[in-house]
Amino acid sequence: MAVSLINLVIILITSKKEEINKKLNYTKIMNLLLAGFTIIILCSSFYRMYLYEQAYGYTFLRLMVYFALITEIILIIPTIMYILDIKINLTKTYFVVIILMYILVNYVNIDYMIAKKNIDRYFEDANYELDMNYLQTLSVDATGQIIRLQNAEDENILKQVNYYLYKVKSETENINLQNF
């Protein structure tokens, strides 16, 4: 991600200088190549994160990396338009894309998604080792999915699920309106 951000800054700086000297098509071609290579870097990062997630399961940080990579890929589109001299307010476009992705991240129930995907995988793949310690750190949003683990055959997981449900019940039993 850092390399792709550096590439983006280089593109913006060199495209800005190109406005002064319109004769340099070489700079435009190099910036388009750099944008293309940045897309390749982002796709490679996305695929490597996918492989990592397939091996070890979903976590909050891994999902945030997905969101950041998708945001960067979306930001390349107006950057390419800027390189091609298509009239676009780049700052406003970046701002809108980043705000929309931020709203999306805050609107998605991430803890529920993490619990659902990891538990689904646990029931589908007998070799998958479920990280109950991590699932217990998720918010109450994950409780509905963790309840599904009461059907698990592993005694250790059943004990951890029962402990988690007891803990959630005791934390939410006498909650007042202000804490809610």
Q: What is the pLDDT of residues 53-104, one digit of tens each?
A: 988 889 999 999 999 999 999 999 999 998 888 888 989 999 999 999 999 9
C-beta separation of 64 from 105 below 8 A: yes
C-beta separation of 82 from 88 below 8 A: yes
Q: Of 43-52, 109-118, 137-146, 171-180, which gets the smallest average pLDDT?
A: 171-180
pLDDT at 85: 82
Q: What is the pLDDT of residues 116-174, one digit of tens each?
A: 999 999 988 878 888 888 998 888 888 989 999 888 888 888 899 888 888 888 877 77
Distance separating alpha carbons of residues 172 and 99, to the nearest angstrom? 33
